[in-house]
Amino acid sequence: MPDSALIVIDVQNDFCPGGALAVEGGDQIVQGINDLMSEFPAVVLTQDWHPEGHSSFATSHPGKDPFSMIDMPYGPQVLWPDHCIQGSEGAEFHEGLDTTRADLIVRKGYNPRIDSYSAFFENDHTTPTGLEGYLRTRGIEKLTMVGLATDYCVNFSAVDAAKLGFTVTVRTDLCRAIDLDGSLKVAMEGMRGAGVVVD
């Protein structure tokens, strides 16, 4: 499958048990992801990479609690606990993840004014990360996605990739979800509706 790539989404300490925005069982998928890497000619890792005081942090909005919603210029935004701050231990990849196989690491969420769930676009759905261009120039057309969290960054990445014309599969056995107020069910329906194969 020379035209395929494995996209590993945000397997970072803050999304694993003990982290600031821990996803239940987030560390359980690491070995399976490592094992899968050998099946792909290209491996891309994404890394949430927020500056301190990011606009998506609840602490940046006095009186607002984590996981509450606000309206931003680009649309509704969940306010998160401070997480994946640039240079912090929480932003580092899980120690068990084989980062040596990565051809490319895409950092996202570094613009202090806008969040970025997707590996392809910031949350305004127009500002690109550059990943599409990288994949196109390498002739990659088929993407398999794994990582954290199923209902946010994996979901947004998969839907954007499908809209861009890539063939996309999400391996749910190698993902874990936050499932905030039913967000997992909505995400699964949305991915399937966009033409993503959800295994």
**Which of the following is catalytic: 16, 84, 153, 175?**
153
CB neighbours (10 Å) of residue 73? 9
Contact 143, 168 (CB under 8 A): yes
CA geometry: angle at 30 spanning 178 and 41, to 5°? 115
Catalytically annotated residue among 84, 108, 160, 175:
108
> 175 an active-site residue?
no
Catalytic entry in 10, 14, 82, 115: 10
Contact 8, 33 (CB under 8 A): yes
Which residues touch 181 (CB under 8 Å, ≥6 apart)?
none
Q: Which two tokens stand for residue 36?
A: 């899968």
153 is an active site residue: yes
Alpha-carbon torsion (19, 17, 171, 33), positive or negative: positive
Residues carrying an active site annotation: 10, 108, 153
